[in-house]
Structure 1
Amino acid sequence: MSAPEEASPVEEALPFFVYGTLRSGGRNHAVHLAGRCAEIRPAVLEGAALHAGPGFPYAVPDPTPGRRIVGELITVRPGAYAGALATLDELEECRADGTGLYVRRRLAVWTAAGEQREAWVYLAGPAAEARLRARPALIASGDWADR
């Protein structure tokens, strides 16, 4: 996993790496992303562990060899990008000061075709990460579908 980069005030239109309810077929995908997607590709986030939260997943950085999260790389249509970004930040309770339920970071992910791409990834926020490190709820496969 590459070093996290804070989201800047002027947001770059990167694809989103989604790994839980925002994946195609998930309840939040249907509500927040359906009709906005230009492309959906299988992808993985290396160097992170997937944990089950109450009703939804959390990604937590984890240097354990082989640790990865299975998900999708979603490219949003340009005209829908600003609205999708705002909607997803609100859904994930992502706050500009980094204290939200999730934090959005620019990270490298790998597509199923072996291509490395930069994407926005929602990681567990500070309080959720601390809770999960103290009492892990690891999904060993890294795939939310296996919970």
Structure 2
Amino acid sequence: MSLPFFVYGTLRPGEHNHGLFLRGRTQTEEPGRLAGAVLYDGPGYPYAVEEAGGGPVYGELVTARPEAYDELLTALDRLEEYIPGDPRNLYERVVREVTREADGAAVRAWVYVAAPAVAVRLRARGKLIEQWPS
């Protein structure tokens, strides 16, 4: 399933992982927002934590160049230390609707959200990150 990616932390333009992972691999990058989630300052990285009625979390909707898609998906999974089904994951890669800022269209995208155990810890004692649209 070749979906765009919604990025909200170190992969956003101007952040250190943008150039390392996305430069040269993307077809488009456009502002978007994810409803039903809030952003926490987690250990080392920001985490989107799903929360009914929360958000939105602002970020970019990134569409990979078709020839770079598989390589980018693998690289992002590695960056987020995501292994399907692994209970030790810090993030889970899930499909969610993201709203494109330019026209308000809902787009299905891959989003890395806090894994359940991480989300519980962040809700209990994490620090929320206040966000504003770019």
**TM-score normalised to structure 1 length:** 0.84
1:70 is matched with 58
The match for 1:61 among 47, 50, 53 is 50
2:130 is matched with 140
Cα distance change of structure 1 residues 105 and 39 upon mapping to structure 2, 3 Å threshold: same
Is the 1:98–1:125 contact (alpha carbons within 8 Å) kept by the matching residues of 2?
A: no
Percent of residue pairs bearing the same amino acid type: 46
1:121 is matched with 111
3-state SS, counterpart of residue 132 of structure 1: helix
Give 1:142 deviation, angstroms.
6.1
Between Structure 1 and Structure 2, how many residues are aligned?
A: 132
Is the 2:9–2:45 contact (alpha carbons within 8 Å) kept by the matching residues of 1?
A: yes
Is the 1:50–1:58 contact (alpha carbons within 8 Å) kept by the matching residues of 2?
A: yes
3-state SS, counterpart of residue 127 of structure 2: coil
Unaligned 5+ runs, structure 1: 1-11
Aligned mates of 1:29, 1:116 — CA distance in 2: 24
The match for 1:30 among 13, 16, 19 is 19
Alignment-mate amino acid for residue 37 of structure 1? T
Alignment-mate amino acid for residue 75 of structure 1? T
Aligned mates of 1:117, 1:124 — CA distance in 2: 20
1:81 is matched with 69
Unaligned 5+ runs, structure 2: none
**TM-score normalised to structure 2 length:** 0.92
Alignment-mate amino acid for residue 44 of structure 1? R
Aligned mates of 1:61, 1:83 — CA distance in 2: 27
Q: Aligned Cα RMSD in Å?
A: 1.6
Aligned mates of 1:140, 1:40 — CA distance in 2: 22
The match for 2:31 among 42, 45, 50 is 42
Alignment-mate amino acid for residue 91 of structure 1? L
- Structure 1's consecutive aligned runs of 4 or more residues displaced over 4 angstroms after TM superposition are none
Is the 2:42–2:126 contact (alpha carbons within 8 Å) kept by the matching residues of 1?
A: no
